[in-house]
Structure 1
Amino acid sequence: MPISRSTAAPRRSTPLALAALAAAALLTGCSSAPEPAAEAKSAAGPSVIAPGRPGEEAETLSPEEAERRKPDDSPNSADFTYIQMMIDHHGQALEMTRLVPGRVHSKRVRALADRIEAGQKPEIGAMKAWLKNNGGPRGKGHDHEAMAGMATPKQLEQLERADGEEFDRLFLKLMTTHHQGAVTMATEVLGAGNNVLVEEMANDVIATQTTEIDRMRDLP
Structure 2
Amino acid sequence: MVVREKFEQELVQLKEKLVRLAYLASESIEESFIALEEQDLDKAVQIIENDNKADLLEEEINDFAILLIAKQQPVAIDLRRIVAAIKIASDIERMADFGVNIAKSAIRIGQNPLIYSLTELKTMQTITLEMIDLAIQAFETEDIALARKIAEMDDEVDRLYGESIKGMLQLSNSNLQQITQLSFVARYLERTADHVTNIAESIYYLVRGRHLDLNE
TM-score of the superposed pair, with normalisation by structure 1? 0.35
Greater relative contact order (CA < 8 Å, ≥ 6 in sequence): 2
Larger Rg: 1
* Structure number with higher helix proportion: 2
TM-score of the superposed pair, with normalisation by structure 2? 0.36
